[in-house]
Amino acid sequence: MKAVAVRKGETNPTIVEKPRPDPDAGEALVRTLRVGVDGTDHEVLSGAHGGFPDGEDHLVLGHEAVGVVADPNGTDLTEGEVVVPTVRRAPDGGNEYFERGEPDMAPEGEYHERGIVGAHGFMAEYFTSPAESLVSIPPELADLGFLVEPVSITEKALEHAYAARSAFDWQPESAMVLGNGSLGLLTLAMFEHTEGFDRTYCLGRRDRPDPTIDIIEDLGATYVDSRRTPVDEVADAHEGMDLVYEATGYAKHAYQTIDALAPNGVGALLGVPESWEFEIDGGKLHNEFVLHNKALVGSVNSHVGHFESAVETLAALPDPFLDDLVTGVYGLDDLDRAFDDDDTTIKTAVELAAYEKR
């Protein structure tokens, strides 16, 4: 079968031939339909994030997948069921986080992430997965099922952010997304359509005309240009935000978020930056945290429960937004376009097989 991989020493995706995998006991064989591409895939390609499976000279890419069960292999799944796989798998021997169903809380070194670190991904004609790591989705969502994983990332981050504000009567009205990439825009759509904030903002660093700014404004949010309004000046320009969701991976934003928050606000940090040393006024930030009851939470990955919520959320997002977000779905013969990183590309996916309803 064909798979899309990055070879050691290279930074571009390549099509490789691999044997079709055989499911072990408890695993199903899945025929892959589509696999989304996000900023993490670009970080994996550049070598900034992730790592190869032990003893392998390549990594099959892809962690945002949707497929159809080809062989349930004695599991509770049904042939033809449309499924989305979770990303983390237990390293040899397993551990308590996986046993508890909370692999997303496992510390580094205690998990593999398919297509990212230590395990091949889903960008292949077939993949196998333990049945408990496959989440069933309605067939109507098959075409957009590759968005379930990124939506699940925000389901988790919001759960943790709201939990950090659960000890008092928190009534958030305003929310700001930092970053107009695919994760940022999906999250902004959730703020508008499923989270119900009164005032929403999205920060980028682009000039008009730009398709992401059009999406932001079509959603009813305000575009904020970080070149004119740095994150630590947002509160002066627009009032402090009850919630800030960082999806830029720009390390200064983690600290500037503290200043962008309203009293009692919470910031969720999602970005995965490389090392960068810079000066901050630690005393001022410490004081700001304490005297205004602010919170910051970091959040990575997501578990089955977040995927299940994400399926409902995705179904509630408006079609015009999703049409604008997904700028291209490409076959293997047009692979390079799926990995384009220009300003007209927002969310892409690679199609391995078309969905045929039974």
- Asked if 50 and 43 touch (Cβ cutoff 8 Å), the reply is yes
**Contacted entry of Zn ion, ligand BGC, ligand NAP, none for residue 87, CB cut-off 5 to 8 Å set by kind:** ligand BGC
By CB under 6 A, residue 247 contacts ligand NAP: yes
How far CA 111 is from CA of 90, 94, 104, 251, in Å, comes to 5, 8, 9, 24
Distance CA 313, CA 191 (A): 11
Least distance from ligand BGC to the Cβ atom of residue 46, Å: 14
Least distance from ligand NAP to the Cβ atom of residue 157, Å: 7
Give the number of other Cβ atoms within 10 Å of residue 15's Cβ. Answer: 12
Distance CA 176, CA 129 (A): 36
Distance CA 326, CA 323 (A): 6
SS3 71: strand
Taking CB under 5 A as the criterion, the residue among 32, 40, 152, 200 binding Zn ion is: 40
Residue nearest to ligand BGC (CB): 40
Q: Which residues pair with 298 in a beta bridge?
A: 269
Least distance from ligand BGC to the Cβ atom of residue 28, Å: 20
Least distance from ligand NAP to the Cβ atom of residue 246, Å: 8
**Contacted entry of ligand NAP, ligand BGC, Zn ion, none for residue 203, CB cut-off 5 to 8 Å set by kind:** ligand NAP
Identity of the residue, 106 or 241, whose beta carbon is nearer to Zn ion in the bound complex: 106
Taking CB under 6 A as the criterion, the residue among 2, 100, 205, 284 binding ligand NAP is: 205
Distance CA 102, CA 91 (A): 14
By CB under 5 A, residue 38 contacts Zn ion: yes
Identity of the residue, 82 or 157, whose beta carbon is nearer to ligand BGC in the bound complex: 157
Contact window for ligand NAP (CB under 6 A) among 52-60, 63-71, 176-184, 279-287: 176-184
Close Cβ partners of 353 (under 8 Å, ≥ 6 residues apart): 31, 32, 33, 68, 125
Task: Give me the residues that bind ligand BGC (CB under 6 A), please.
Answer: 38, 40, 63, 87, 113, 116, 149, 153, 272, 300-301
Question: Which among 333, 343, 341 is positioned nearest to 351, based on CA atoms?
Answer: 333
Binding site for ligand NAP (CB under 6 A): 38-40, 43, 153, 179-184, 203-206, 226, 247-250, 270-272, 299-301
